[in-house]
């Protein structure tokens, strides 16, 4: 085997190495090349058992011939040093395992001294034997394939982990043929209530068609599969036969199923699907259903004599409720009607206004979209808000404003206080918009007129960027330009930062530091495809006007193309600053499967982008 590269780092881009030792048989080969001995050590740090596992003579009987300390003396002397280390590591690992084992065995725990290895092992044997006594023979059944877990337990565990239930429905009438007991914890219905019923009785009325389609889609010609290589749909022009689909066709869809808040009230629930006395107040939870079509011999399934079709298609699925949040998305996320969320572009023009804002500001969302928020701010607040605006564009933190007045549709002002947060695109690292959470401070009848010229003049001196304001009318025209100007400052600073050399004077000092031109210690030999922050050029320079995707001029820098299937790589570890637009992968044609393509992509993106920079994304409010 090739000795590992002396740098001791994991091997290259795609052929990620976990370190490699081939066991005792190959040691002589490595030893002959003395320089590689230390290198053999490092990558094997974590290999522990694996290295032994890989060796050819790791069987139990051969342990007798395995070297121990006393026997080392008979080996070649140049083995000794690294060999001792390897042995020590092996012993430590074994001791750790023995300790863990003794911790798990009740018989070992009350012991005063730490039991020795042999005792622990013997106790373990006894313990296993004792455990077996309590279990059924299915566990240790030698006729069948033995498994660590009994089959039933495994299925239970799986359903518990998946937090879902198994569902088998017949394709022709959506009769529930089987449903696992775990459904009772998810939907609060018992098996009795569900088995044999029609699935459609439990599906949200608006999803019934969707489910019908999934059950019997061979009737519908619009089947599409996606080809992940091209991202395009593959049209199936040929007529689809049921037999073709009844074996193994995959299904994945979402639907809403009824659930009961209180378990056990059978009669009521039984009536719900049939009678429609009152409005159906059932609650639904959204499930992700995945599974495949299967044909079952109908004679054993349907006792009602539905033996017209010789083989019945059914859909076998795992249904999992969506993981995030409550079963139903909350209707009103913000219970308080006096708070609302808005979003505006970096120049302050509204791009999103939540519906409940209308009760506060009087305007309908569509009336304010596209207008600058500065048009609604009172002059007294312009300076402070402009400052906050500048601040939020340059900060990753949430910025709190002071109380300010917002002009409503009716001319009066309402007192608000907001929390602003700028959103930075994870890929381009450019600020794209500002999210504002707004709270009403008071709804007092403040009718503050904006005709005080004296005030305007004072403002004029403090904020030189506002052109001279001669009369009240002109206020509105120029207020909007404040936002635009602040935005332009930002855009200019992006342009300035397009090359690292000019980074010194940039207000975005923090972002420049993240430019990974110096590769962090871990994987140096991999291609440094970093989402290099300040090193990208401004690609969307018309952020405020919301222009289309502009293709930037690509830097013809040297790029290390990732060799997909080759395990060897450029060990000199070319660190090159790549233009994001020009990030490349080898042509797909060299791959034989989607998975291979994915492997390449992953290997490209695996690199040291955020290694050493864990703090960057702390304030992105991830749920954990």
Partner 1 sequence: MTADKEKRRAISREAARRRRRVESEVFEDLSRLLPLQQSVRDHLDKPSVIRLTLSYIRMHTLLTGKTGTKAEASHKVKCGQVTDGQMVRHEFNGGCGEEEEKEKYDADASEETNMYLRILEGFLMVLSTEGDMIYLSENVSKYMGLTQAELMGHNIFEFSHPCDHEELRNNLRVTAVWSGEKRDFVMRIKSALTHRGRSANLKSATWKVLHCQGRSKVCVAPSSVSCLLLTCQPLPLSHTLLSTQTFTSQHSMDMRFTYCDQRMTLLLGYSTEELLGRSIYDLCHTRDTNCLTKNHFNLCFKSQSVSGRYRMLVRGGGYVWVESHSAVIPNAHSSKSRPGANQPLCILCVTYVLRCVCGLWFKATFTVSTHFIELYLSK
Binders of partner 1 among 582-601, rule CB under 8 A? 582-589, 591-599, 601
Closest of 603, 584, 609 to residue 519, by C-alpha: 609
Q: Could you identify the residue written with the tokens 């320079």?
A: 541
Minimum distance, C-beta of residue 461 to partner 1, in the bound complex (Å): 36
Minimum CB–partner distance for residue 472 and partner 1 (Å): 27
Report in angstroms how near the CB of residue 382 gets to partner 1 at its nearest.
24
Q: Judged by CB under 8 A, does residue 104 bind partner 1?
A: yes
Select from 228-236, 399-407, 465-473, 492-500 the region that touches partner 1 (CB under 8 A).
Answer: 228-236
- Contact between 149 and partner 1 by CB under 8 A: the answer reads yes
Tokens standing for 420? 């602003």
Single out the segment in contact with partner 1 by CB under 8 A; choices: 80-88, 324-332, 402-410, 447-455. Answer: 324-332
Contact segment (CB under 8 A) with partner 1 among 79-87, 409-417, 430-438, 481-489 equals 430-438
Find the angle CA(526)-CA(584)-CA(574) to the nearest 5 degrees.
Answer: 30
Closest Cα to residue 554, out of 570, 539, 574?
Answer: 539
Which distant-in-sequence residues (6+ apart) come within 8 Å of 385 by Cβ?
374, 377, 401, 404
Among 121, 240, 441, 458, binds partner 1 (CB under 8 A): 121
Start-to-end CA distance of the chain, whole Å, equals: 43
Q: Among residues 408 and 437, whose Cβ is nearest to partner 1? A: 437
300-319 residues in contact with partner 1 (CB under 8 A) are 300-301, 316-318
Residue 165: enclosing H or E segment and its boundaries?
strand 165-170
- Looking at the Cβ atoms of 49 and 280, the one nearer to partner 1 is 49
Enter the DSSP assignment of 262.
S
- Cβ-Cβ contacts under 8 Å for 261 (sequence gap 6 or more): 188, 283
Characterize the bridge pairing of strands 311-321 and 339-345.
unpaired
- To the nearest whole angstrom, how small is the minimum distance from the Cβ of residue 34 to partner 1? 22
**Does 276 sit near partner 1 (CB under 8 A)?**
no
Taking the least distance from each CB to partner 1, the nearer of 143 and 501 is 143
Answer yes or no whether residue 348 interacts with partner 1 by CB under 8 A: no
Q: How far apart are CA 24 and CA 33, in angstroms?
A: 16
User: Which tokens in the block code for residue 516?
Assistant: 């990974």
Alpha helices in 105-137 (DSSP H): 117-134
Question: According to the binding rule CB under 8 A, does residue 143 interact with partner 1?
Answer: yes
Stretch that binds partner 1, among 257-265, 439-447, 474-482, 615-623 (CB under 8 A): 615-623
* Between 254 and 410, CB nearer to partner 1: 254
Q: Is residue 286 near partner 1 by the rule CB under 8 A?
A: yes
Site for partner 1 (CB under 8 A): which residue of 32, 35, 230, 303?
230
Which positions from 379 through 408 interact with partner 1, judged by CB under 8 A?
none
List binders of partner 1 among 471-500 (CB under 8 A).
none
Nearer to partner 1, 360 or 382 (CB): 360
| Token duo for residue 333 | 């996320």
Task: List the one residue out of 93, 92, 99, 91 whose CA is nearest residue 119.
Answer: 99
3-state secondary structure 321-383: ECCCCCCCCCCCCCCCCCEEEEEEECCCEEEEECHHHHHHHCCCHHHHCCCEHHHCECHHHHH
144 touches partner 1 by CB under 8 A: yes
Residues 273, 277, 278: CA angle, nearest 5 degrees = 95
**209/243 with CB nearer partner 1:** 209
Positive or negative, the CA dihedral 188, 191, 192, 194 is: positive
Query: Measured from the CB of residue 244, what is the shortest distance to partner 1 in angstroms?
Result: 13
Which residue carries 């979402």 as its tokens?
254
Q: Is the dihedral of CA 580, 581, 582, 586 positive or negative?
A: positive
Is there binding between residue 325 and partner 1 (CB under 8 A)? yes
CB of 449 to partner 1, least distance (A): 30
Q: How far is CA 293 from the centre of its chain?
A: 29
Span 27-66, contacts to partner 1 by CB under 8 A: 46, 48-50, 52-54, 58-61, 63-64, 66
Q: How many residues bind partner 1 (CB under 8 A)?
A: 190
Work out which of 39, 435, 441, 448 binds partner 1, going by CB under 8 A.
435
Structure tokens at 588: 């797909």
Q: Identify the bridge partners of residue 259 per DSSP, sorted by sequence position.
A: 283
Host H or E run for residue 62? none
- Residue 523's CB is within 10 A of a number of other CB atoms, namely 20
Q: Identify which of residues 379 and 534 has a Cβ nearer to partner 1 in the complex.
A: 534
d(CA 472, CA 181): 72
The secondary structure of residue 439, as a DSSP letter, is: E
Q: Does 521 bind partner 1 (CB under 8 A)?
A: no
Residue of the chain from 83, 89, 155, 390 that contacts partner 1 (CB under 8 A): 155
- Which of residues 85, 136, 460, 572 is near partner 1 by CB under 8 A? 136
Is residue 89 a contact point for partner 1 (CB under 8 A)?
A: no
- Letters for 156-195 (x = contact with partner 1 by CB under 8 A, - = none) are xxx-xxxx--x-x--------xx-xx---x-----x----
Q: Which of 32, 110, 112, 145 binds partner 1 (CB under 8 A)?
A: 145
CB-wise, 328 or 513, nearer to partner 1?
Answer: 328
Comparing CB distances to partner 1, the nearer of 37 and 316 is: 316
What residues numbered 404-423 form the site for partner 1, per CB under 8 A? 423
DSSP annotation of 191 reads H
């Amino acid at each position: 085997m090739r000795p590992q590269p002396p740098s001791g780092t994991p091997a290259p881009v795609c052929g990620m190495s976990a370190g490699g030792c081939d066991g005792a048989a190959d040691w002589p080969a490595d030893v002959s090349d003395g320089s590689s001995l230390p290198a053999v050590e490092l990558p094997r740090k974590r290999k522990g058992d694996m290295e032994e596992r890989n060796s050819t003579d790791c069987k139990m009987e051969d342990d007798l011939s395995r070297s121990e300390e006393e026997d080392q003396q008979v080996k070649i002397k140049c083995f000794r040093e690294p060999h001792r280390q390897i042995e020590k590591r092996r012993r430590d690992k074994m001791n750790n395992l023995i300790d863990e084992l003794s911790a798990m065995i009740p018989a070992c725990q009350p012991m005063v001294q730490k039991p020795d290895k042999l005792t622990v092992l013997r106790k373990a044997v006894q313990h296993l034997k004792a455990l077996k006594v309590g279990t059924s023979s299915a566990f240790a059944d030698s006729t069948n394939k033995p498994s660590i877990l009994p089959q039933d337990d495994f299925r239970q565990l799986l359903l518990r982990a998946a937090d879902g239930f198994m569902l088998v429905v017949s394709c022709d009438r959506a009769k529930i043929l089987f449903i696992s007991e775990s459904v009772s914890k998810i939907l609060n219905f018992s098996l009795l209530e569900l088995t044999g019923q029609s699935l459609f009785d439990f599906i949200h009325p608006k999803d019934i068609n969707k489910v019908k389609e999934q059950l019997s889609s061979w009737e519908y010609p619009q089947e599409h599969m996606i080809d992940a290589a091209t991202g395009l749909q593959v049209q199936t022009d040929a007529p689809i036969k049921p037999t073709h689909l009844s074996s193994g066709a995959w299904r994945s869809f979402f639907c809403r199923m009824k659930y009961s808040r209180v378990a056990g009230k059978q009669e009521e629930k039984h009536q719900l699907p049939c009678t429609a006395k009152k409005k159906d107040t059932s609650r639904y939870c959204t499930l992700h259903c995945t599974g495949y079509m299967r044909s079952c011999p109908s004679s054993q399934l349907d006792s009602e004599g539905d033996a017209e079709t010789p083989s019945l298609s059914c859909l076998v699925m795992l249904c999992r409720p969506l993981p995030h949040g409550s079963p139903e998305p909350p209707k009103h996320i913000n219970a308080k009607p006096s708070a609302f969320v808005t979003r505006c572009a970096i120049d302050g023009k509204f791009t999103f206004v939540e519906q409940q804002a209308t009760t506060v500001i009087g305007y309908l969302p569509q009336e304010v979209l596209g207008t600058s928020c500065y048009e609604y701010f009172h002059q007294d607040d312009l300076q402070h808000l402009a400052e906050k605006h500048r601040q939020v564009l340059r900060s990753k933190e949430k910025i709190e404003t002071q109380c300010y007045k917002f002009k409503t549709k009716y001319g009066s002002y309402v007192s608000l206080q907001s929390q602003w947060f700028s959103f930075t695109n994870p890929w381009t690292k450019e600020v794209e918009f500002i999210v504002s959470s707004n709270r009403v401070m008071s709804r007092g009848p403040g009718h503050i007129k904006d005709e005080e010229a004296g005030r305007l003049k004072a403002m004029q001196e403090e904020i030189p960027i506002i052109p001279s304001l001669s009369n009240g009318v002109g206020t509105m025209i120029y207020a909007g330009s404040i936002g635009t100007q602040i935005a332009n400052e930002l855009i200019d600073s992006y342009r300035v930062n397009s090359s690292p050399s000019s980074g010194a004077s940039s207000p975005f000092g923090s972002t420049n530091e993240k430019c990974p031109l110096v590769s962090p210690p871990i994987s140096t030999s991999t291609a440094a495809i970093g989402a290099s922050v300040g090193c990208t050029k401004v690609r969307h320079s018309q952020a405020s006007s919301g222009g289309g995707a502009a293709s930037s001029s690509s830097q013809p820098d040297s790029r290390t193309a990732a060799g997909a299937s080759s395990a060897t790589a450029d060990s000199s570890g070319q660190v090159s600053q790549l233009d994001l637009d020009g990030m490349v992968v080898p042509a797909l044609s060299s791959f034989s499967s989607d998975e291979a393509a994915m492997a390449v992509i992953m290997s490209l993106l695996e690199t040291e982008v955020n290694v050493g920079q864990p703090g960057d994304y702390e304030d992105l409010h991830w749920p954990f």
